[in-house]
Structure 1
Amino acid sequence: MIGAIRIAIVDDHPLFREGVTRSLSEIGGFEIVGEGATAQDAERIASTVQPDILLLDISMPGGGLSAVASILADHPAQKIVMLTVSETNADVTTALNAGVQGYILKGVGSRALADILRNVAAGEGYLTPTLSARLLSDLQSPQSADGVADRLRQLTERQAEILRLVAEGLSNKEVALRLELQEKTVKHHMTGVLSKLNVRNRTEAALMVREFRDRDRSRS
């Protein structure tokens, strides 16, 4: 191992912060480099400490989701993971669309949390499986597999290529680098993708593509 993963925790419950700090310290491989209780604290820590991963709650003074938007506007490379009790689709999709790398429900075991954080530090994304399943269920209810296939066929070759990378968890910036495009060009193509697939955001588009692939594999 090259070095410990630097973690900052922002949550307005001191006992919860202490518990996460103690658990990660006991497991090893992590260094807690900052703590806070408000959105302002999160923004300050991201600016001055620049942790490898910033763990944020949603319900805190100033709002965790507001902090995400502000932080990523100034520090787009900052990895953020939401650790929260909120299970609402609105919060999940807002967080993912804003650019967080992970969304974890409180109650997760300490070793599972450590594994997730290691994966996020390595560049992977994470969404609690029950939340992912719920989003997929919401997407499936109004449309058949054949309908999804028809919509996917409407995409241009470039749109399909971009959507495939988005479904793999890449951000617009990462897609742009991979395909040697301008980020604004990727955003333009994604606007077309959302319109053709009749979905509200990139998260729903990615989930639709993953579910279609799973169905296709199960048939073969």
Structure 2
Amino acid sequence: MRQMAHRAAARRFDVAMTNQTSAMATAKLNVGILAANELLHRGLDTVLSQVALVGAVAHCRHPAEVDRLLAAGDVDVLILAGPWTRPPALGRTRILMLLDEASAADPSAASLDADGFLFQQELTQESLSDAIRRVAAGETPMPGRLARHLISQVTAPGRGAVPARRLIDLTSREKSTLDLLYEGLSNKQIARRLGISEHGVKRLVASVLLKLDSPNRTSAVVTAIKAGLIDHTA
């Protein structure tokens, strides 16, 4: 009986996630922009006007305007390309950080507090649309070179030994999910590799992030390497 109840609960969850995904596919996303560079700000506005999934666009010229915007709770994704201090709680708002040429040369400038990353040099209608969609869906879009740099920071020689394995109780399926996150796979790719639905992947990723006390996928991978949960030498 208990197993049947669990299955029924899982089916209800999948139905709810399907409805949520369908709603996301048709609903427009409200986007905010904070860019210190006026030329970049205007460029973003032009590109966003061509992105079908974007609804209202709020323009912020100062960090204080962002705080007021977020307090109103009307922003799904904030595109950040300037100095701003992330508050402890953002509600449903996701942060997409645009990295400049200096960050491309020194990726350590990127903060793991962001929910997704995109280099300004690679900014196109297609890349921005994909990044916004993935950030809104709870994924962490990130250029490959940035991900490799962040991971190398905890694996490079001379940075001290990796701490002993923390007592983090991951199920075998969660561990497989974590390994695929380390490979940089998206939810759809993980679903294909594990032979499960994307909704199932979302549940697994959420559980992994919770157990690793990490705000996003990249932070979870870094934490897992430090904890000895991923064999990065293989």
- TM-score class, shorter: 0.5 to 0.7
Deviation per residue, 1:37-94 (Å, 9 max, x gap) = 2211211111125211011123xxxx32x1x1x2xx24343211111315245432xx
Contact 1:136 1:211 in 2 (8 A): no
Return the TM-score normalized by structure 1. Answer: 0.62
Contact 2:108 2:150 in 1 (8 A): no
**Other-structure match for 2:15:** none
Specify whether residues 210 and 157 from structure 1 end up closer, same or farther in structure 2 by C-alpha distance, changes over 3 A only: closer
* Shift in Å, 1:13: 2.2
Give the AA of the match of 2:167.
Answer: T
* Shift in Å, 1:208: 5.8
Distance 1:16 1:89 in 2: 20
Specify whether residues 209 and 74 from structure 1 end up closer, same or farther in structure 2 by C-alpha distance, changes over 3 A only: closer
Mapping of residues 107-118 of structure 1, within 5 Å: 107-110=121-124, 111-118=126-133
Verify: 1:138 aligned to 2:149, yes or no.
no
Verify: 1:54 aligned to 2:78, yes or no.
yes
Give the AA of the match of 1:91.
Answer: A
Q: Which one of 160, 167, 189 corresponds to residue 156 of structure 1?
A: 167
Verify: 1:75 aligned to 2:75, yes or no.
no
Contact 2:73 2:91 in 1 (8 A): no
Distance 2:145 2:178 in 1: 21
Distance 2:213 2:223 in 1: 9
Cα RMSD (Å): 3.8
Q: Which runs of 4+ in 1 moved over 6 A?
A: none
Distance 2:146 2:231 in 1: 19
* Shift in Å, 1:214: 6.5
Gaps spanning 5+ residues in structure 1: where? 192-200
Distance 2:147 2:229 in 1: 11
**Other-structure match for 2:223:** 205
Specify whether residues 190 and 31 from structure 1 end up closer, same or farther in structure 2 by C-alpha distance, changes over 3 A only: closer
Tell me how many residue pairs correspond in the alignment: 175
Deviation per residue, 1:138-167 (Å, 9 max, x gap) = 333228xxx76xx56x33243x56x95888
Secondary structure of 1:156's aligned partner:
coil
Distance 1:47 1:166 in 2: 34
Q: Which one of 88, 99, 102 corresponds to residue 116 of structure 2?
A: 102
**Other-structure match for 2:40:** 16
Secondary structure of 1:82's aligned partner:
strand
Verify: 1:84 aligned to 2:99, yes or no.
yes
Going by fraction, where is helix more abundant, 1 or 2? 1
Give the AA of the match of 1:108.
Answer: E
Return the TM-score normalized by structure 2. Answer: 0.59
Secondary structure of 1:81's aligned partner:
strand
Distance 1:89 1:206 in 2: 20
* Shift in Å, 1:35: 0.7
* Shift in Å, 1:7: 0.9
